[in-house]
Structures are given as C-alpha cells and as structure tokens.
Amino acid sequence: MDTTVDSGNAAATSGTTTVYPFIRFDDVSLRYGGPGGTLAVEGATIDIPKGGFVSIVGPSGCGKSTLLKMVSGLIAPTSGRVVVGGKPVTGPLGFVGMAFQNPTPLPWYSVIDNVMLPLRIVEPYRSTFRARYDEYRAKAEALLEMVGLRGFGEKKPWQLSGGMLQRASLCRALIHEPALLLLDEPFGALDAFTREELWQVLQELWLARRPTVMLITHDLAESVLLSETVFVMSARPGRLLHSEAVPFARPRGLDVMYEPEFVSMVHRLRTRIGNARADGMKGA
C-alpha cells in the first residue's frame, strides 16, 4: 500500500495529476446475470479517505454487499470503475480483511488457529509462518485479549457462543493488519447487549490501528455511532441517495446514543430510508 496517495475527504486536483482518496467508486454500476439481468447497483459514486470509517445503510437487497465485493475485487463492475490506493481494482486485492454476519470458523482449528488463518495465506506472513510462528501467535493472543477473549485461544469454535465467535471473526479480519477492513453486517445476528459491547470493541480497534473501514449495516444507530460518514442507498437498483458526516467526538460511548443530536440524526436517516423503500415499491 506504499503507492497510496493520502488525501482529504474528496479527490482534490493539484496541478495536472488527480489525487485520489483511498477508495473511490467512480459512477459504478453492476448488473448480475448479463444484459437483461438484475441491476444491483446503479451509478454509485463514493469517496472514502484513508483511515476513514464509513457505513452504508439501505433497504435489504439494495446492493450494499455488492459494493463490498467490488471493493475487494471479488466481482468487477459492469460499468464505471473502483479505485483503491490509486489503482483501479482488477482482481482480488489480496490484503483485505473481511467479516460477515456468519463468523464461519473452521471447526477443526482452535480459536487461535482460526484467527491466524489469514497469516497462512497472505504474504509476507505466509512464507515465514513456520519460522516466526511464536511471534505471530503472540500477535493473535494480543488481539484476542483486545476483544475480550483472553484465555479462549485453545478452545474449539463450537465451545464458544455466537458473540464470542464474532469477536474471533473480527480478530481474523485484523490479524494481518489490513489497510482495508470490510464488514458485512457483522453484528446482525447478535443479541443487543453483545452488539453494544462489540461496537465498543470495534471502535477501539479502529482508533488503535486506523484501518479504512466500510461497514454494511441495517442498524442506523450502529452506523451513526461507529462511522465518520453514513451513506444511504435506495432500494434496488441501489443508488446513492444521501451521505452525511457524523459530528460526534471520539471515543463515542454508548451514552452519546441518547443525546438529542444523535437521535435526530438517526431519525433523519430513517426518513431517508423510508422514502427509499416507498420509491422502491412504486418502481416495482
């Protein structure tokens, strides 16, 4: 990621060269299943600065997850382009950390071995995995401690609760210190208390390491609590309707959620989504 050109929020033109933000969606559309297929995303233009934390919210099926897959290079846009670190994305980026609603641990590995899985795949860790195993293991243990799983490394995944597995899944996404973290509704299947706790964990991890984070979520309060900017998408085909910077100071405790500005921002976003849904119904 040495080629990355740091910049402010938006792409700035300095002289003759365009300076890109860390991630740029440039009028991106995606149609599944060839011409005549489903248009999942239409004309999305999004800029995300390096080290930023953005949330993307919208009605279900609006192509939020599709955006993530395009950033990571798992699928290519039908038109427009995605630029990460100044280079157009043409295939899997090979360094991205990802976590989903389903924590998908490998059942034959212990928790710590699951956390270390990316190190068996990503260079330069891969070729030094055996030689520097102890060092990497200590790294994984430190991460587990950060998310409150100290002493659970030797357990097998089935011995952990859903919330604990999701913590481990976050560790797995972060172990190789990725510059980009993609989260697709990681807290969607958790109970309210575990979710609140993991919001704090994620915020701490982000403040400590400052990866660029894209969070997909249905939970508006979650998006406002965690991110710097919230993007609202329309119902299918997903278009970008609205974006709003979140003004609250870091670190944000759970108390901030009960402040009037917070509540009114969530309400504002909720209204946008409501409109998006109604539009979607009319279109259908």
Partner 1 sequence: MSASLLANRYVIKVFPVVFVALIFIAWELLVWLTGIKSVILPPPSAVIYDLVTKFPLIWPHAVQTLYTTMVGFLGAIVVGVLLGALIGSSRLAYEAFYPVLIGFSSIPKVAVVPIFVLWFGVGTIPAILTSLVISFFPIVVNVATGLATTEPELEDVLRALGAKKRDILLKVGLPRAMPYFFASLKISVTLAFVGTVLSETVAANKGIGNVMMVASANYQTALAFGALLLLAIMGVILYGVFALLETRFAGWSQRKADLALQSH
The residues of the shown chain that bind partner 1, judged by CB under 8 A, are: 69, 72-74, 92-100, 102, 104, 106-108, 117-118, 120-122, 156, 158, 172-173, 176, 182
Residue 103 C-beta: closest distance to partner 1, Å: 9
Q: In the complex with partner 1, which residue's Cβ is closer, 183 or 265?
A: 183
Q: In the complex with partner 1, which residue's Cβ is closer, 7 or 169?
A: 169
Those residues whose C-beta lies under 8 Å from the C-beta of residue 162, and which sit 6 or more positions away, are 103, 189, 190, 194
Residue in the block written with tokens 């100044």: 86
C-alpha to C-alpha distance for 118 and 140, rounded to whole angstroms: 11
Cβ neighbour number for residue 108 with a 10 Å cutoff: 9
Residue 261 C-beta: closest distance to partner 1, Å: 36
Laid out side by side, the sheet with 97-100 consists of 97-100, 180-184, 212-217, 53-57, 229-233, 240-245
Q: In the complex with partner 1, which residue's Cβ is closer, 93 or 149?
A: 93
Residue 169 C-beta: closest distance to partner 1, Å: 9
90 token code pair = 């043409």
Residue 86 C-beta: closest distance to partner 1, Å: 19
Q: In the complex with partner 1, which residue's Cβ is closer, 98 or 213?
A: 98
Residue 105 C-beta: closest distance to partner 1, Å: 9
Residues in the chain: 284
Q: In the complex with partner 1, which residue's Cβ is closer, 75 or 256?
A: 75
Burial group, residue 145, by CB count within 10 angstroms (0-12, 13-18, 19+): middle
Q: In the complex with partner 1, which residue's Cβ is closer, 190 or 235?
A: 190
Residue 237 C-beta: closest distance to partner 1, Å: 22
Q: In the complex with partner 1, which residue's Cβ is closer, 39 or 74?
A: 74
- The residue among 58, 54, 75 whose CA lies nearest residue 66 is 75
Those residues whose C-beta lies under 8 Å from the C-beta of residue 105, and which sit 6 or more positions away, are 111, 114, 157, 165, 168, 169
What is 101-126 written as a DSSP string? SS----TTS-HHHHHTGGGGTSTTTG
Residue 107 C-beta: closest distance to partner 1, Å: 5
